[in-house]
């Protein structure tokens, strides 16, 4: 294993990689994708396909740095669903090489985020903060107390902030626990009135039942959140992804101890 892997393992740390997917295709990206991903790409518009392909290639390039293999040797698959055991809709994982490294990946617009930890489950979500029907969307996913908080905000912009803070936190939790969109999100109370990190209860038949959830800084009006196992004590560190021509990692800062 690499020094980067040992760094995460020894410190119980989380690395959060941020990237911007280009609007022009790059040679060498598509060959890194798996069959399922290529099937998805073929159903997309050309702009969406370029962004998807670039971000999923970047995902493998970053994971390869921890796993001490070439990007084309990183094979991604899924864990069984924690509820029904189905092999196709559990959490994404590294199938090869064999590792206890865990990751979670999220894209929105031209942004992507990748969370990497060792020996724990992790979830991450980024949303580009687009305008929407805040009241309607909030009623669909917020608990009664979350809704009361959102409605108490002074204006539409503040209510939008409250909605996306809650939404990204909920998504990070259900992605960490492995059930995705089939969960009733109202039942996952993420305390949007608190800046965080907050401890959130959400139990599935397998995996942890409490999560340490925090907002992540983003650029350009996007919202993002991270969910780690609640016993996680290590730092959360932000890393900017550079295209392959510049392999040096850029450390942007350390968020919380
Ligand atoms: Zn299932």
Task: Report how far ligand 1's centroid is from the alpha carbon of 178 (Å).
Answer: 9
Is residue 21, in this structure, part of any structural domain at all? yes
In a structure prediction context, what are the per-residue pLDDT tens digits for the chain, which is 257 residues long?
899 999 999 999 999 999 998 888 888 899 999 998 999 999 999 999 999 999 999 999 999 999 999 999 999 999 988 888 888 888 999 999 999 999 999 999 889 999 999 999 999 999 988 888 999 999 999 999 999 999 999 999 999 999 999 999 999 999 999 876 667 899 999 999 999 899 999 888 888 889 999 999 987 788 999 999 999 999 999 999 987 654 433 333 344 33
Q: Is residue 52 reached through a cis peptide bond, with omega within 30 degrees of 0 on the bond before it? A: no
What is the CATH number for 25? Answer: 3.90.470.20
Task: Report how far ligand 1's centroid is from the alpha carbon of 185 (Å).
Answer: 16
pTM of the model: 0.92
Task: Report how far ligand 1's centroid is from the alpha carbon of 156 (Å).
Answer: 36
pLDDT given for residue 182 in this prediction: 64
Q: For the chain, how many structural domains are there in total? A: 1
Is residue 254, in this structure, part of any structural domain at all? no
Task: Report how far ligand 1's centroid is from the alpha carbon of 167 (Å).
Answer: 21
Is residue 115, in this structure, part of any structural domain at all? yes
The DSSP-derived string for 141-189 is H--HHHHHHHHTSSSHHHHHHHHHHHHHHHHHHHHHHT-GGGS-GGGS-
Task: Report how far ligand 1's centroid is from the alpha carbon of 41 (Å).
Answer: 24
Is residue 41, in this structure, part of any structural domain at all? yes
Triad 71, 226, 240: Cα angle to 5°: 45
Residue closest to 162 by CA, chosen among 136, 134, 181: 134
Is residue 246, in this structure, part of any structural domain at all? no
Q: Which residues surround ligand 1, an ion (CB under 5 A)?
A: 81, 83-84, 86
Q: Domain containing 203: what range?
A: 3-233
């Amino acid at each position: 294993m690499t020094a980067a892997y040992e760094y995460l393992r020894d410190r119980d740390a989380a690395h959060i990689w941020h990237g911007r997917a280009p609007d022009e295709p790059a040679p060498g990206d598509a060959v890194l994708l798996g069959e399922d991903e290529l099937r998805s790409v073929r159903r997309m518009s050309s702009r969406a396909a370029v962004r998807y392909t670039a971000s999923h290639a970047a995902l493998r390039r970053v994971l390869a740095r921890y796993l001490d293999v070439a990007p084309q040797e990183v094979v991604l698959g899924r864990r069984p669903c924690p509820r029904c055991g189905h092999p196709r809709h559990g959490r994404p994982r590294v199938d090869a090489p064999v590792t206890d490294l865990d990751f979670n990946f999220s894209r929105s617009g031209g942004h992507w985020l990748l969370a990497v930890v060792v020996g724990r489950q992790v979830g991450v979500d980024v949303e580009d903060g687009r305008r929407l029907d805040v009241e309607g969307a909030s009623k669909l996913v917020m608990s009664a107390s979350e809704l009361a908080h959102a409605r108490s905000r002074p204006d539409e912009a503040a209510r939008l902030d409250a909605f996306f803070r809650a939404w990204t936190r909920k998504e990070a939790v259900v992605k960490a626990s492995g059930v995705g969109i089939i969960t009733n999100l109202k039942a996952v109370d993420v305390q949007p009135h608190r800046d965080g990190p907050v401890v959130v209860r959400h139990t599935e038949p397998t995996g942890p039942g409490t999560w340490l959830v925090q907002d992540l800084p983003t650029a350009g009006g996007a919202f993002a959140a991270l969910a780690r196992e609640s016993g996680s004590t290590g730092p959360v560190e932000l890393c900017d992804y550079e295209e392959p021509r510049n392999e040096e990692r850029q450390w942007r800062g350390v968020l919380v101890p």
